[in-house]
C-alpha cells in the first residue's frame, strides 16, 4: 500500500470506529434489554400525548429559503479555503476580489432580511 | 504575481454590474411610490454601458486578457452592441408592463440585467469555463423571470418547463464539455482547436461533440429540442418572451458558433451533418407548426424556432461541403442582428396590441387596424419583415443567408437551399395571415378604448426605434453589413 | 492494487445509490440513495488525489445540497408520491429499452476505438500534500477571477429569485 492511501487509513479507521460504536451500543442494548412490546410502547413518543398524523408531515415553503441561504454561504466558505491558502501571494488584489465576492453575497442576505423572510412568526 | 486586468476592455460589463447592484440596492431602500427610479436606473445604466463599447470600437484593437481566455475583438464588440441594444429595447417594453401588473419591480430589473451581463461575458469568452459561466448567468435569471406572473398557472408551467429542460440541456452540455476536456486536456478554444483537429474518427470525440450540439440545440430552440419553447413563450411575461426569443437565443448562437468556428473547426465532419439536420428540421417543423397556431405568441414562438433554422443554414451548408466558414459566419451574424431588431419589434407590437384586445388569441385581433391604423401599420411592417419581404430589413437577412449558401456550392447545400426557399414561402403564408386578420377581417369583439390601453411612452419609444431600424436596414443594408464584416475580425485567443 | 479494489467497491456503491434514486418509492429514500452516490464519488476523488474536490463534494453536495433536497421533498410532502399515473402506455418498458440502448452504446463507445486518450497510470503516486488546493487556487483567483465573481452573482440571483417567487407575505412589489 502506498503512503498516500496509508495516510487516508486514519479516515477509514475513524469511519469504521464510528460504525462499530453505534452498532455495538445498539447491539448490546438489544441483547441485554427485556423485550415485552405492547401497542402503547410501539407508539412514537410525543410528550406523553398521542401522536397526530403521520411522521412524514409537510413543511413550510419558508424553510426552503433557509436551506438555500445555507447552501449559498456554504459555497462561499468553500471558496474561502483555497483563497486563504494563497492570500499572501495574491496580496491586495486577492483581498479586494474576495471583498467584492462577499459583498455581493451579503447583499443577497440583506435583501432576505429586508423582505422579512428571516422573521419568525 | 504579475497579473493585470484591462479595465477599459471590461468596462461595459463593469457598468452593467454596477447598474444591477444599484438597482438591487434601490429596491431595498425605496418605498412603493418611488419604485420608478429603479426602472430609470436600469435604463440609464444600460445606455451608459454603450459608451465604453463605442470607445473600444473606435480604438479597434484586439484586447486579450487572462491568458487569452477573455478576448475583446471586433466580433465581441459587435455582438455586445447587439445585446445591449436589444436589452435596451426589452427594458423599454418592460417598464409599463411590469408597473401596471404590480409585479416585483426591483428584482425584475436586477435579474434581467444579470442575464444581459451573462450574454456580454459569452461574447468575449474564449475558454470553456468562462463560456459556461456566461451561459449560466444568461439563463439562470430567465428561469425565474418566466415564472414572474406568480398567480398565473400558465406562467408557472412556463417556468417549470423551461427550468427542467434548461437544466437538462445544461447538464448534457457540461457533460460534453467535460469529455472534450478529458480527451484533449485543453480548456481554451485555441488549445481545443489544435488538439481536436483530425480526431473526428474517435467514438468518444464524436459523442462529446454531439453532446455539445444537443446542449446548445436546447438553448437556441432548434428542432427536435424545441418542445419547451411554445409553452414557455406563451406563459412568460411578454417582455421576457421577447428577451428569450432574441437575447437568449442569440447568446446560444454565439456560444455555438464560437465553439464550432474557433474550438472545433478541425472536426467539422462530425458536427456539419448534425447541424444540417437541425437546420432542415427546425425550418420545416417550425413553419408547419406555426401554420396551425391561433395564439399570436405561440405563432411567434414557432416562427422563432423556424428562424433559428434559417440562421443555422449558412454554417451547416458551408461546413457540409467543407467550404470556407468565414463567409457563413459573417452571414449568420448579419442574420442575428436583423432578426433581433424585427423580432423585438414584433413583440413590442404584440404588447401594444394586447392592451387593446386583452387577449393573445388571433381571433380577438381581427379588425384591430380599423380602430387603430398606426398599430395596424406596425403589425404589417414587423410581420412582413419577418417574412422577408423587401424593402423591410428581413429580406436582407434572407439574402445574406442564400448568398452564403451559393458561395459554398455543392449538392447537399443546394438541397438545403431548396428546403429553405420552400420554407420561406410557407412562412409568408402565416405571417401574412396575421396581417390579413388585423387589416381585413371584421372585429369579433370589443376593443378596450381608454387612456389605459394606449401604449406607454417607453413602449412607444421601443416601437419607434425598432421600426426605424427595420425600415432603415431594409433600404440601406450597408447599415448592417458592417456587422458581418466586423465579425470577421475574430481573435482565437489563448 | 488498493486503488483497484477501492474503485470497484465505490463504483458499485455509487451505482447502487443511483439505482435507488430511480427505483425507491419514497422520495426520502431516493435522497438517501443520492447521498450514498455522492459519498462514493467523493472517495473516488480521493483516490484520484483530488482531496479538495472530494472535500467540496462532501461539504457542499452531501451537506448543503442534500439538506435543500430534503427540505424540498418535505415541503412537497411525501404522501403525494402515491400519485404515479403514467400518461404514456408501457412507459416503463420503453424507458427501460431506451436505458439499455444507451448503456450498450456507452459501453460500445468506451470499448471501441483506441484508449490513447486515457492517460497512462502513474507509476509513483505523489505524496499527499496541499498541492491540489494550491493548484486550484492559483488560476481560480487570477485567470478566472471573472468566473469567480460571476459565481457570487449567480448565488445572489438564486437567493433573490427564490425569495421573490416563494415569498408571498405582504406582496410588497
**Separation between Cα atoms, residue B123 and residue B78, nearest integer Å:** 9
Residue pair B95/B458 in contact by the 8 Å Cβ criterion:
yes
Closest residue in chain A to residue C129, using alpha carbons only: A4
- On the question of pLDDT at A35 being above 70, the answer is yes
Pick A111's closest partner by Cβ from B1, B3, B24.
B24
CA-based nearest distance C131→chain A, Å: 11
Beta carbons of B126 and B159 less than 8 angstroms apart: no
pLDDT for the residue numbered B279: 92
Contact by Cβ (8 Å): A39, C39: no
Cα–Cα dist C137/C163, whole Å = 32
The rounded distance, in Å, linking the Cα atoms of C114 and B204 is 10
A90 reaches B (C-beta below 8 A): yes
Write down the pLDDT at residue C131.
Answer: 61
Element (H, E) at B295: none
User: Is residue C144 a part of any domain in this protein?
Assistant: yes
**Res B223: pLDDT:** 85
CA-CA distance, A71 to A108, in Å (whole number)? 13
Q: In this predicted structure, what is the pLDDT of residue C32?
A: 92
User: Per-domain residue ranges for chain A?
Assistant: 3-114
Regarding the domain delimited by A3-114, which CATH topology (the fold level of the hierarchy) does it fall under?
Methane Monooxygenase Hydroxylase; Chain G, domain 1 (1.20.58)
Q: Provide the 10 A C-beta neighbour count for residue A99.
A: 10
Give the residue on B whose Cα is nearest the Cα of A110: B28
Residue C173: its pLDDT value, please?
A: 42
Choose the closest CB to A97 out of C3, C148, C153. C148
- Using alpha carbons, select from B359, B307, B300 the residue that is nearest to residue B336: B307
Is residue B303 a contact partner of residue B432, using CB atoms and an 8 Å limit? Answer: no
Q: Find the DSSP H helices in B258-365.
A: 268-291, 296-320, 325-357
* Cα–Cα separations (whole angstroms), residue A88 to A79, B1, B227, B351: 16, 10, 51, 55
In the predicted model, what is the mean pLDDT of chain A?
84
Q: Which position has the grid cell 496541499?
A: C130
Nearest CA distance, A59 vs chain B (angstrom): 21
Residue C96 pLDDT: 87
The answer to whether position C89 is within a domain reads no
Nearest CA-CA partner of B383 in B420, B429, B332, B337? B429
Cβ-contact A81, C150 below 8 angstroms: no
* Residue of C110, C112, C157 lying closest to B111 (CB–CB): C157
| Position C23 in a domain | yes
The Cα–Cα gap between B394 and B474 comes to 7
Grid cell at residue C39: 459519498
Q: Which of B139, B16, B116, B14 is nearest to B65 (CA)?
A: B14
Tell if the CB–CB gap between C144 and B102 is shorter than 8 Å. Answer: no
Interchain CB distance below 8 Å, A107 and B25: yes
How many whole angstroms separate alpha carbon B75 and alpha carbon B196? 24
Q: Tell the residue number behind the cell numbers 407548426, with chain if given.
A: B289
Cis peptide bond upstream of B51, omega within 30: no
- State which residues of chain B have pLDDT below 70: 1-3, 101-102, 450-453, 491-494
SS3 B64: strand
Cα B323 to Cα B309, B311, B342, B409, C142, distances in angstroms: 20, 17, 30, 8, 39
pLDDT above 50: residue C171: no
Q: In angstroms, what is the C-alpha Rg of chain C?
A: 21
Helices (H), B197-248: 203-219, 228-235, 238-243
Residue in chain B nearest A88 by alpha carbon: B1
Helix (H, G, I), strand (E, B) or coil at B63: strand
- Do the domain assignments include residue C26? yes
CATH of the domain at C19: 1.20.120.1200
Residues of C within 8 A of B32 (CB-CB) are: 172-173
pLDDT at B1: 46
pLDDT in tens, C94-135: 888 998 998 888 888 777 666 665 655 555 555 545 567 887
pLDDT tens digits, one per residue of C156-169: 999 888 888 877 65
**Of the candidates B111, B112, B105, B114, the residue with the CA atom closest to the CA atom of residue B37:** B105
Please report all neighbours of B, defined by 3+ CB atom pairs within 8 A: A, C
Q: Reduce the DSSP state of residue A86 to 3 states and report it.
A: helix
Cβ of C144 within 8 Å of Cβ of B203? The answer is no
Q: How far is A86 from chain B (nearest CA, A)?
A: 11
Please give the backbone phi and psi of residue B446, each rounded to the nearest 5 degrees, phi first: -85, 145
The string of pLDDT tens digits covering residues C19-61 is 999 888 888 889 999 999 999 999 998 888 788 888 889 988 8
Q: Is residue C104 part of a domain?
A: no
What crossing angle do the helices spanning B36-59 and B74-100 adopt, rounded to 10°? Answer: 170
The DSSP secondary-structure symbol of C77 reads -
pLDDT at A8 over 90: no
3-class state of residue B70 by DSSP: strand
Residue C52 maps to a domain: yes
**Bridge partners of B188?**
B127
Longest CA span, chain C: 64
Residue range of the domain that includes C74: 2-80+127-171
Does residue C142 belong to any structural domain of this protein? yes
- CB neighbours of residue C88 within 10 Å: 9
Q: Which residues contact B63 (CB under 8 A, 6 or more apart)?
A: B6, B8, B9, B56, B71, B72, B73
Contact B28 A93 (CB under 8 A): no
Residue C103 grid cell? 448503456
Q: What ipTM does this complex have?
A: 0.86
What kind and span of H or E run contains A82? helix A62-90
Decide: residue B377, CB within 10 A, 0-12 exposed, 13-18 middle, 19+ buried.
Answer: middle
Distance between CA B130 and CA B71 in Å, rounded?
11
Q: Name the minimum distance, in Å, from the CA of A96 to any CA of chain C.
A: 11
Q: Chain C closest CA to B111's CA: distance in Å? A: 7
B493 near C CB under 8 A: no
Residue in C125, C124, C135, C136 with CA at minimum distance from that of residue C49: C125
- Chain B residues in contact with A110 by the CB 8 A cut-off are 28
Contact: C143, B111; criterion CB under 8 Å? no
Domain count along chain C: 1
The C-alpha cell that represents A114 in the structure block:
429586508
Chain A, 47-66: which have a CB under 8 Å from a chain C CB? 54, 56-66
Q: Helix (H, G, I), strand (E, B), or coil: what is residue C58? A: helix
φ, ψ at A22 (rounded to 5°): -65, -50
C78 — pLDDT class (breaks 50, 70, 90): low
The pairs formed by C65-72 with CB atoms below 8 angstroms and a separation of 24 or more are C65/A71, C66/C31, C66/C34, C66/C35, C66/C38, C67/A67, C67/A70, C67/A71, C68/A64, C68/A67, C68/A68, C68/A70, C68/A71, C69/C31, C69/C34, C70/C28, C70/C31, C71/A59, C71/A63, C71/A64, C71/A66, C71/A67, C72/A64, C72/A67
Q: How many CB atoms lie within 10 A of CB B151?
A: 7
Amino acid at each position: 500500500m502506498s503512503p498516500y492511501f496509508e495516510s487516508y487509513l486514519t479516515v477509514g479507521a475513524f469511519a469504521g470506529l464510528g460504525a462499530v460504536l453505534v452498532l455495538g451500543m445498539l447491539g448490546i442494548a438489544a441483547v441485554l434489554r427485556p423485550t415485552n412490546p405492547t401497542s402503547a410502547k410501539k407508539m412514537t413518543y410525543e410528550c406523553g400525548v398521542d401522536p397526530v398524523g403521520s411522521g412524514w408531515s409537510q413543511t413550510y415553503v419558508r424553510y426552503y429559503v433557509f436551506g438555500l441561504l445555507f447552501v449559498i454561504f456554504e459555497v462561499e466558505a468553500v471558496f474561502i479555503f483555497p483563497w486563504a491558502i494563497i492570500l499572501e501571494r495574491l496580496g491586495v488584489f486577492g483581498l479586494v476580489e474576495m471583498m467584492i465576492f462577499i459583498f455581493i453575497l451579503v447583499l443577497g442576505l440583506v435583501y432576505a432580511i429586508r423582505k422579512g423572510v428571516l422573521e419568525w412568526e | 504575481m504579475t497579473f493585470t486586468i484591462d479595465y477599459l476592455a471590461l468596462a461595459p460589463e463593469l457598468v452593467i454590474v454596477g447598474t444591477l447592484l444599484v438597482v438591487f440596492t434601490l429596491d431595498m431602500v425605496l418605498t412603493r411610490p418611488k419604485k420608478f427610479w429603479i426602472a430609470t436606473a436600469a435604463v440609464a445604466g444600460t445606455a451608459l454601458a454603450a459608451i465604453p463599447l463605442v470607445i473600444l470600437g473606435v480604438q479597434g484593437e484586439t484586447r486579450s486578457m487572462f491568458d487569452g481566455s477573455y478576448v475583446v475583438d471586433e466580433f465581441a464588440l459587435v455582438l455586445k452592441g447587439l445585446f445591449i441594444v436589444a436589452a435596451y429595447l426589452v427594458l423599454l417594453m418592460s417598464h409599463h408592463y411590469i408597473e401596471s401588473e404590480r409585479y416585483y419591480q426591483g428584482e425584475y430589473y436586477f435579474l434581467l440585467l444579470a442575464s444581459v451581463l451573462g450574454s456580454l461575458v459569452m461574447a468575449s469568452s474564449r475558454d470553456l469555463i468562462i463560456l459556461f459561466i456566461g451561459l449560466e448567468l444568461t439563463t439562470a435569471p430567465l428561469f425565474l423571470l418566466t415564472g414572474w406572473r406568480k398567480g398565473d398557472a400558465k406562467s408557472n408551467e412556463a417556468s417549470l418547463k423551461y427550468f427542467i429542460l434548461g437544466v437538462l440541456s445544461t447538464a448534457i452540455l457540461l457533460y460534453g464539455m467535460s469529455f472534450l476536456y478529458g480527451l484533449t486536456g485543453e480548456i481554451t478554444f485555441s488549445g481545443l482547436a489544435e488538439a481536436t483537429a483530425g480526431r473526428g474518427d474517435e467514438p468518444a470525440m464524436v459523442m462529446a461533440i454531439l453532446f455539445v450540439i444537443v446542449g446548445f440545440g436546447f438553448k437556441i430552440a432548434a428542432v427536435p429540442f424545441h418542445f419547451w419553447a411554445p409553452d414557455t413563450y406563451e406563459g412568460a411575461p411578454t417582455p421576457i418572451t421577447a428577451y428569450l426569443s432574441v437575447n437568449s437565443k442569440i447568446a446560444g448562437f454565439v456560444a455555438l458558433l464560437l465553439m464550432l468556428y474557433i474550438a472545433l473547426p478541425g472536426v467539422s465532419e462530425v458536427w456539419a451533418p448534425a447541424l444540417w439536420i437541425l437546420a432542415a428540421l427546425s425550418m420545416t417543423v417550425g413553419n408547419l407548426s406555426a401554420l396551425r397556431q391561433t395564439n399570436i405568441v405561440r405563432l411567434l414562438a414557432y416562427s422563432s424556432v423556424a428562424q433559428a433554422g434559417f440562421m443555422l443554414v449558412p454554417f451547416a451548408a458551408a461546413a457540409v461541403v467543407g467550404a470556407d466558414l468565414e463567409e457563413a459566419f459573417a452571414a449568420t451574424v448579419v442574420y442575428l442582428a436583423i432578426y433581433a431588431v424585427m423580432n423585438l419589434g414584433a413583440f413590442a407590437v404584440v404588447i401594444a396590441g394586447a392592451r387593446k384586445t386583452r387577449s393573445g388569441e388571433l381571433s380577438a385581433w381581427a379588425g384591430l387596424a380599423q380602430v387603430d391604423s398606426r398599430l395596424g401599420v406596425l403589425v404589417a411592417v414587423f410581420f412582413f419583415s419577418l417574412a422577408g419581404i423587401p424593402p423591410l430589413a428581413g429580406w436582407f437577412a434572407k439574402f445574406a443567408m442564400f448568398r452564403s449558401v451559393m458561395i459554398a456550392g455543392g449538392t447537399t447545400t443546394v438541397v438545403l437551399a431548396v428546403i429553405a426557399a420552400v420554407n420561406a414561402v410557407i412562412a409568408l403564408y402565416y405571417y401574412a395571415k396575421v396581417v390579413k386578420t388585423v387589416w381585413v377581417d371584421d372585429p369579433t369583439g370589443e376593443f378596450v378604448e381608454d387612456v389605459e390601453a394606449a401604449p406607454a411612452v417607453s413602449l412607444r419609444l421601443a416601437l419607434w426605434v425598432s421600426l426605424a431600424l427595420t425600415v432603415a436596414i431594409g433600404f440601406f443594408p450597408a447599415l448592417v453589413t458592417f456587422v458581418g464584416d466586423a465579425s470577421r475580425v475574430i481573435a482565437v485567443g489563448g | 492494487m488498493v486503488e483497484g479494489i477501492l474503485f470497484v467497491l465505490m463504483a458499485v456503491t455509487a451505482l447502487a445509490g443511483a439505482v435507488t434514486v430511480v427505483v425507491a418509492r419514497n422520495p426520502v429514500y431516493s435522497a438517501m440513495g443520492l447521498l450514498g452516490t455522492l459519498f462514493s464519488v467523493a472517495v473516488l476523488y480521493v483516490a484520484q488525489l483530488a482531496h479538495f474536490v472530494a472535500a467540496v463534494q462532501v461539504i457542499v453536495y452531501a451537506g448543503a445540497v442534500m439538506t435543500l433536497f430534503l427540505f424540498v421533498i418535505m415541503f412537497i410532502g411525501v404522501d403525494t408520491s402515491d400519485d404515479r399515473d403514467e400518461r404514456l402506455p408501457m412507459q416503463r418498458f420503453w424507458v427501460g429499452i431506451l436505458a439499455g440502448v444507451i448503456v450498450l452504446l456507452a459501453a460500445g463507445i468506451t470499448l471501441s476505438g483506441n484508449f490513447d486518450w486515457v492517460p497512462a497510470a502513474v507509476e509513483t503516486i505523489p505524496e499527499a500534500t496541499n498541492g491540489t488546493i494550491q493548484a486550484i487556487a492559483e488560476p481560480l483567483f487570477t485567470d478566472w477571477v471573472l468566473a469567480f465573481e460571476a459565481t457570487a452573482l449567480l448565488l445572489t440571483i438564486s437567493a433573490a429569485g427564490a425569495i421573490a417567487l416563494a415569498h408571498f407575505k405582504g406582496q410588497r412589489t
